[in-house]
Amino acid sequence: MNYHCLSDLKKLIADSGHTGVNQLGGVFVNGRPLPDSTRQKIVDLAHQGARPCDISRILQVSNGCVSKILCRYYESGTIRPRAIGGSKPRVATVSVCDKIESYKREQPSIFAWEIRDKLLHEKVCSPDTIPSNLVYVEELITAVNFDKQLS
């Protein structure tokens, strides 16, 4: 079968049932995460200063998808998609919480992804033991510190 243009191929892919073509002309597989290579390109373009709307147009990925991937990257430092289904989240131990609290005292404006990098670099955690939601841990520490100030 001969395809005379890219739109014919995209239409064929979209008609197969499991895949589709978004409004920007990008091909996606319904219910499946974006490939890691595309996720990495999104982060790389953002590091180069591209705006999410420009990244969206360049890579033919929806604005919402770009925003979600960048938000997750800034929060946790990972481009990997969340697990489909779900496993038990990794929680922070007391020693990890203490370390995060010391990072926050040293640098109150530190980002979650920076904390994650420090925990890994200083070997406080391994990639398998790092808490899955550092933002939540930060919020707990902030709440505890706020309660201490009120007492």
Domain with residue 121: its CATH number is 1.10.10.10
Indicate if 59 and 111 belong to the same structural domain. no
Report the alpha-carbon distance of residue 28 to residue 34 in Å, rounded: 8
In a domain, 15, yes or no: yes
Report the alpha-carbon distance of residue 113 to residue 135 in Å, rounded: 9
Give the domain range for residue 123.
94-150
- pLDDT band per the 50, 70, 90 thresholds, residue 130: confident
Per-position DSSP letters for 71-86, written without gaps between them: HHHHHHS--SPPPSS-
Mean model confidence pLDDT for the chain: 76
Indicate if 13 and 65 belong to the same structural domain. yes
pLDDT of residue 52: 93
Total number of domains in the chain: 2
Indicate if 107 and 146 belong to the same structural domain. yes
Indicate if 23 and 71 belong to the same structural domain. yes
pLDDT of residue 3: 41
- Burial profile 94-112: b = 16 or more Cβ within 10 angstroms, e = fewer: eebbebbbebbeeeeeeeb
In a domain, 87, yes or no: no
In a domain, 44, yes or no: yes
Lowest mean pLDDT among 29-38, 53-62, 122-131, 136-145: 136-145
**Token reading at 61:** 């990925």
pTM for the whole structure: 0.46
In a domain, 84, yes or no: no
User: For residues 137 and 97, is the Cβ–Cβ distance under 8 A?
Assistant: yes
Between the alpha carbon of residue 139 and those of residues 24, 49, 120, 135, 144, the distances in Å are 37, 29, 20, 6, 9
In a domain, 85, yes or no: no
